[in-house]
């Protein structure tokens, strides 16, 4: 047997020798005229992975964003290596600097957790000198990102025509609440988007009111969509040489994340949604996708079940999925081996009308274990479950710290704080998370080193009032 194996190994070796000869021959051939070698790309870098710079090195962002949706987008781009120059109103800055303040006199966590890895310059964009500085920034940067209220950028004089004329390569990326239509002029915040994008009407319990979710799918979700659009536009620009408008409406972003509910809306025309527990309970469906409580969305029945300690710990729960292939393992675990063959329980369709009592029985078992014990036991049998992790548990989770998803950074006025690092991990573009900038921290640096103003010009700018706060504090400071 061993001899045989040796023989076949020699054969393989001989074969691969022949193959490599062939490769050498192919290499020597002149590349076809139509297929450029390497598709026009540079030679693969010989630097070790992670040492060849970052994905967006060299991309310069004129970051005109505020609150959450826009800053989420530009923070992600900054994590990827883009130089984000955040323009803020002198003396006020992004309104979130002062919102939900937990440390007196220091920038709030709302601001610091959304503006890491950026530089801050203060410019009054309505001041003539401020406009001149902005023009230089437009010429210098690749992308302008903004999420002002509809029309605000135009009112500053920064229309698409003006920007495109000043720098035809500039990409202008915007978040607004709605796309063109009846609501296009409306100001929009997170929960408005959740409600108008189809998330709220499909979240919550059937017998209760619509519910918004804690995950900021309207703001951060749309920021993420915009970042994707910007990267695509940057790539297209390598062929066309010109910029374009990139637009993400919060309603559209939420709908994109809620698309399975629009799927269900259409399925309703062909009969009830059998995986919804409402079906098993014999409650008729209306004309629109209903709220499904904690039903599992993927057609694999699931529910949130109590675990040991639920009486005092609001997060002592686990999400439990009764996936068909592991049904027998579930029956054994919960002490119901007879369900494996009982025609009322053995097959998924038979279980649908009984889901409520099935989950109640499983819960009798989960209540005897902590959520982490349930997780450990179930995973040994490939049963998909998810412990309900509190934010406290997530903040303390070692593996999230190890991967850089939760990062501690130091800040000169507020001290150490936790932030969320880059949720996208790349093998050749390693993210180093840096603290958020103080208001106007980089104003002089950007004016002189990036935009080339002389020391004399800098003094003139300083006295012009374009980068300094007006005498009276602006209204927004009180917020």
Residues that bind ligand COA (CB under 6 A): 67-70, 87-89, 123-126, 147-149, 152, 155-156, 175-177, 187-189, 219
Phi first, then psi: give them for residue 471, nearest 5 degrees: -55, -45
Q: Which residue is nearest to ligand COA (CB)?
A: 149
For the sheet containing 302-306, what is the strand order? 302-306, 317-321, 385-387
Query: What span, in angstroms and rounded, lies between the C-alpha atoms of 220 and 179?
Result: 17
Query: What span, in angstroms and rounded, lies between the C-alpha atoms of 93 and 145?
Result: 16
Q: Nearest-CA neighbor of 306 among 296, 318, 314?
A: 318
Query: What span, in angstroms and rounded, lies between the C-alpha atoms of 41 and 452?
Result: 33
Q: Which of 83, 94, 142, 219 is catalytic?
A: 219
Query: What span, in angstroms and rounded, lies between the C-alpha atoms of 69 and 74?
Result: 9
Measured from the CB atom, is 114 or 385 closer to ligand COA?
Answer: 114
Query: What span, in angstroms and rounded, lies between the C-alpha atoms of 363 and 360?
Result: 5
Measured from the CB atom, is 36 or 155 closer to ligand COA?
Answer: 155
Q: Is 295 a catalytic residue?
A: no
Active site residues per annotation: 219
């Amino acid at each position: 047997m061993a001899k045989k194996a040796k023989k076949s190994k020699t054969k393989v070796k001989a074969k691969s020798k022949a193959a490599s000869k062939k490769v050498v021959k192919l290499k020597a051939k002149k590349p076809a005229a139509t297929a450029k070698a390497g598709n026009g790309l540079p030679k693969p870098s010989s630097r070790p992975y992670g040492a060849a710079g970052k994905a967006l090195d060299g991309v310069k962002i004129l970051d005109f964003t505020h609150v959450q949706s826009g800053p989420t987008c530009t923070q992600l781009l900054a994590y990827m290596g883009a130089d984000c120059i955040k323009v803020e109103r002198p003396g006020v800055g992004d309104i979130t600097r002062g919102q939900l303040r937990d440390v007196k006199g220091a920038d709030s966590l709302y601001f610091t957790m959304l503006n890491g890895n950026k530089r801050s310059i203060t410019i009054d964009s309505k001041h003539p000198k401020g406009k001149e500085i902005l023009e230089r920034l437009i010429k210098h940067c690749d992308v302008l990102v903004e999420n002002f209220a509809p029309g605000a950028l135009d009112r500053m004089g920064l229309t698409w025509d003006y920007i495109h004329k000043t720098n035809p390569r500039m990409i202008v990326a915007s978040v607004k609440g709605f796309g063109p239509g009846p609501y296009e002029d409306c100001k929009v915040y997170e929960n408005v988007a959740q409600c108008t994008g189809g998330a709220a009407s499909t979240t919550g319990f059937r017998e209760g009111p619509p519910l918004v979710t804690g995950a900021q799918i309207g703001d951060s979700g749309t920021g993420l969509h915009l970042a994707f659009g910007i990267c695509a536009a940057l790539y297209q620009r390598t062929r066309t040489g010109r910029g374009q408008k990139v637009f993400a409406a919060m309603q559209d972003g939420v709908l994109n994340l809620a698309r399975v509910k629009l799927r269900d809306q259409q399925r309703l025309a062909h009969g009830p949604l059998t995986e919804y527990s409402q079906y098993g309970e014999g409650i008729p469906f209306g004309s629109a996708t209903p709220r499904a409580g904690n039903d599992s969305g993927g057609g694999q029945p699931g529910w949130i079940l109590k675990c040991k300690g639920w009486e005092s710990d609001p997060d002592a729960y686990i999400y439990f999925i009764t996936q068909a292939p592991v049904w027998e393992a579930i029956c054994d675990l919960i002490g119901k081996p007879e369900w494996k063959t009982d025609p009322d329980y053995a097959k998924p369709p038979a279980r649908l009308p009984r889901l409520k009592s099935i989950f109640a029985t499983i819960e009798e078992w989960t209540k005897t274990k902590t959520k982490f014990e349930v997780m450990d036991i179930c995973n040994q049998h490939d049963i998909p479950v998810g412990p309900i992790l509190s934010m406290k548990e997530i903040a303390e989770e070692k593996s999230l710290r190890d991967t850089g998803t939760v990062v501690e950074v130091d800040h000169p006025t507020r001290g150490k704080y936790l932030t969320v690092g880059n949720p996208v991990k790349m093998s050749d573009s390693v993210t180093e998370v840096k603290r958020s900038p103080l208001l106007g921290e980089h104003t002089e640096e950007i004016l002189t080193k990036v935009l080339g103003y002389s020391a004399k010009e800098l003094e003139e700018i300083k006295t012009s009032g374009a980068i300094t706060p007006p005498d009276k504090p602006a209204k927004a400071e009180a917020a």
